[in-house]
Structure 1
Amino acid sequence: MTSRLIDKVVPATSSGGPVSRLIGSVDIDGKGTSHALPEVDPFILLDLAQLNQHNRPPFGAHPHRGHSVVTLLLQGQMQSWDSFSNQHTTIKGPASYWVDAGTGVFHDETSVIADESDPAQHIKLLQLWVGVKEADRQKPARLQYDTDLPTTDLLDCETSRKAGTVTHYVGEKTTIETPHPLVVFHVQQNANTSVDLSIDPSHGGFIVMLSADDAAATVQFGGTTSPLKQHDVLVLANDVSTSSTVKATTGDHSAEYMVCAGAKHGEAWVKKLVANGAIICATTEQAQDVAPKVEAYAAAGKVEGGSFAPFGS
């Protein structure tokens, strides 16, 4: 079977501190970290964070509007709060925590580390922002999480022997209900194996290398030949007429990576940073109208009291 190809490989951009920006863009005012990858519709942002201190990051309650915010908690514990339930929830990884921001929500996430000297308690997570259609931006906010993620075996496509494992974070194997078709899975692949990763041929997306540099360099996806580095983003080719799989072949090291793919919605969107968070709207004019409402809620201090109402359009 012919493998779907990789269009390009993009290195991460450090956002400072413990966070690396893997996908993202500046807002309508030119603020933020420029690392745009428009080819990966429906995904609009991806950050990787590694936290070794309790109660981090110190953002406090911050707004989201018009997109889905997905925390892929690989290791550790996070405490999450949202304005529509006004409740704190502690989630232990591996877990998937999904917030459909809809017309608007204030949200906060902080690390829970009882012993900061214990590396096993340190946080490792990816935060993924998923673009949605305008009709979904007008719906009420919704919260979902799955702490019982299913794991399946990978089979070597040449020997049919076990070649590693796949942990499913988002998709039909999990309890998470997405606005449109989407899969996110974490792969731990053994050395000297070759596997076919099943990805809908109509979906856009990417693969993120999580392996250390020496291990990452020995992996090939869809015919890539350049050595890979940790946190590289491999963009799936949009010419998808040939295959519904991506072939991953390891060398003398095992490999760890995350696969994210989803149905493209193709609708226009703009981002505006506001009150330590971000809103997504269909147009610049709409964003400029919604932003003052968000700032007013934050300034009035109504957020923590649970008296929050949607921003609307």
Structure 2
Amino acid sequence: MPETEVFNEARVVVRKFLARPQHEGVGAIVRRSIGRFELKYFDPFLVLDEFSVTAPAGFPDHPHRGFETVTYMLQGAVTHEDFEGHKGTIGAGDVQWMTAGRGILHSEMPAAQGTQKGLQLWINLSSKHKMIEPKYQEMVSKDIAEATKDGIKVKVIAGEALGTKSPVYTRTPTMYLDFTLKPGAHLQQPIPVSWNAFVYVLEGEGIFGSPKSLSVTGHHLLLLGSGDGLEVWNKSSKNLRFILVGGQPLGEPVKQLGPFVMNTEEEIDQTIDDFENFVNGFEKARHWRSGSALGLDF
């Protein structure tokens, strides 16, 4: 068993959702767990989608402002392009951390045969960071920090686990950990006491928060209550895989209209005006089209 972590108060599951499939983009299917009717916002997290897309379906040219997107590929590959001239393909295990800031227009389309699967998380930006310049951080799978111990493997996309830290800088303080627990494994993971945190189960089944809790299976989102750590048990005969995500709440008002997230209705109105008139960060949107939109790549 892992060395015992000392928690003042272990977190328990306070709400559980099954993320059901819905249509999004053009022909894509997503399982949305944050950003839906029952859970519109979990400060600082705006959206969590588990997506499944097969060409020619995808997410063609669309704008963003005021937050960050984290795309983590689980299967296949996706090509992304934007109006700043940035283009790249991320495959299974790769991560793209995009700061939309004051504005970006981009596309995300399948880049391989068959079905492409992954997770996309939207992280809100504070009012002082909403209008910063767009930025990308990309990590290929082999460069993501990884640690193993006593039947536990973790990919440390952001934050720290099992003594291993990620070099990724997050403007909104965030942890993003991909755990795999072998049968019989027991995890004790610290979480900053002031942060909101959740689990999303990808594969297998596990017991979260309390040894007396019921086992939870794939496609479930678990909101964690107060405390400074999480315990997880895999009492099944198969591997358990889940992500643990936490973030420092911003405590600011949120106004959202689709891909635009600001603090006031006036800022949303200004964003729409900026996008429609190609100004204040959207100048390049006037003439830019992605290669997929032009029919060059797909």
Using the TM superposition, give the Cα deviation of residue 149 of structure 1 relative to its aligned residue in structure 2, in angstroms: 1.0
Using the TM superposition, give the Cα deviation of residue 55 of structure 1 relative to its aligned residue in structure 2, in angstroms: 4.9
Q: What amino acid maps onto 2:14 in structure 1? A: D
CA 1:111 to 1:261, structure 2 compared with 1: closer, same or farther past 3 Å? same
> Residue 18 of structure 2 corresponds to which residue in structure 1?
11
> Residue 217 of structure 2 corresponds to which residue in structure 1?
229
> Residue 116 of structure 2 corresponds to which residue in structure 1?
123
CA 1:93 to 1:300, structure 2 compared with 1: closer, same or farther past 3 Å? closer
Is the partner of 2:60 in helix, strand or coil? coil
Give CA-to-partner distance per residue, 1:7-55, whole Å, 9 cap, x none: 1112213223521111104xxxxxxxx24254x311111000123x235
Distance 1:292 1:35 in 2: 30
Using the TM superposition, give the Cα deviation of residue 229 of structure 1 relative to its aligned residue in structure 2, in angstroms: 3.1
Give CA-to-partner distance per residue, 1:193-217, whole Å, 9 cap, x none: 2110222222112000111xxx32x
Indicate if the aligned counterparts of 2:123 and 2:172 stay in contact, CA closer than 8 A: no
Equivalent residues in 2 for 1:73-152, closer than 5 Å: 73-84=73-84, 86-113=85-112, 115-116=113-114, 122-147=115-140, 148-152=143-147
Distance 1:109 1:250 in 2: 35
Is the partner of 2:217 in helix, strand or coil? coil
Equivalent residues in 2 for 1:201-212, closer than 5 Å: 201-211=193-203
CA 1:210 to 1:134, structure 2 compared with 1: closer, same or farther past 3 Å? same
Q: What amino acid maps onto 1:188 in structure 2? A: T
1:191 aligns with 2:152: no
More off after superposition, 59-68 vs 288-297: 288-297
Give CA-to-partner distance per residue, 1:48-72, whole Å, 9 cap, x none: 0123x23541x32110100011101
Is the partner of 1:180 in helix, strand or coil? coil
Superposed CA RMSD: 2.2
Indicate if the aligned counterparts of 1:204 and 1:264 stay in contact, CA closer than 8 A: yes
Is the partner of 2:118 in helix, strand or coil? strand
Using the TM superposition, give the Cα deviation of residue 126 of structure 1 relative to its aligned residue in structure 2, in angstroms: 0.5
More off after superposition, 290-299 vs 73-82: 290-299
Indicate if the aligned counterparts of 2:105 and 2:285 stay in contact, CA closer than 8 A: no
Distance 1:92 1:133 in 2: 30
> Residue 290 of structure 1 corresponds to which residue in structure 2?
271
1:54 aligns with 2:77: no
Distance 2:128 2:215 in 1: 42
Distance 1:183 1:142 in 2: 19
Using the TM superposition, give the Cα deviation of residue 166 of structure 1 relative to its aligned residue in structure 2, in angstroms: 0.3
Distance 2:186 2:57 in 1: 39
Is the partner of 2:129 in helix, strand or coil? helix
Indicate if the aligned counterparts of 1:65 and 1:101 stay in contact, CA closer than 8 A: yes
Using the TM superposition, give the Cα deviation of residue 300 of structure 1 relative to its aligned residue in structure 2, in angstroms: 7.3
Distance 2:73 2:166 in 1: 15
Distance 1:170 1:82 in 2: 24
> Residue 231 of structure 2 corresponds to which residue in structure 1?
247
Distance 2:159 2:108 in 1: 23
Distance 1:174 1:22 in 2: 25
Indicate if the aligned counterparts of 1:206 and 1:259 stay in contact, CA closer than 8 A: yes
CA 1:149 to 1:294, structure 2 compared with 1: closer, same or farther past 3 Å? same
Distance 2:276 2:116 in 1: 30
Using the TM superposition, give the Cα deviation of residue 271 of structure 1 relative to its aligned residue in structure 2, in angstroms: 0.7
1:167 to 155, 163, 184: 155
Distance 1:302 1:109 in 2: 18
Unaligned runs of 5+ in 1: 26-33, 117-121, 155-161, 306-313
Is the partner of 2:14 in helix, strand or coil? strand
**Alignment size in residue pairs:** 267
1:180 aligns with 2:172: yes
Larger helix proportion, structure 1 or 2? Answer: 1
**Superposition TM-score, scaled by structure 2 size:** 0.83
Unaligned runs of 5+ in 2: 1-5, 291-298
> Residue 296 of structure 2 corresponds to which residue in structure 1?
none
Using the TM superposition, give the Cα deviation of residue 293 of structure 1 relative to its aligned residue in structure 2, in angstroms: 2.4
Give CA-to-partner distance per residue, 1:248-301, whole Å, 9 cap, x none: 01112321101110111111111112xxxx111111122022113213449974
Larger strand proportion, structure 1 or 2? Answer: 2
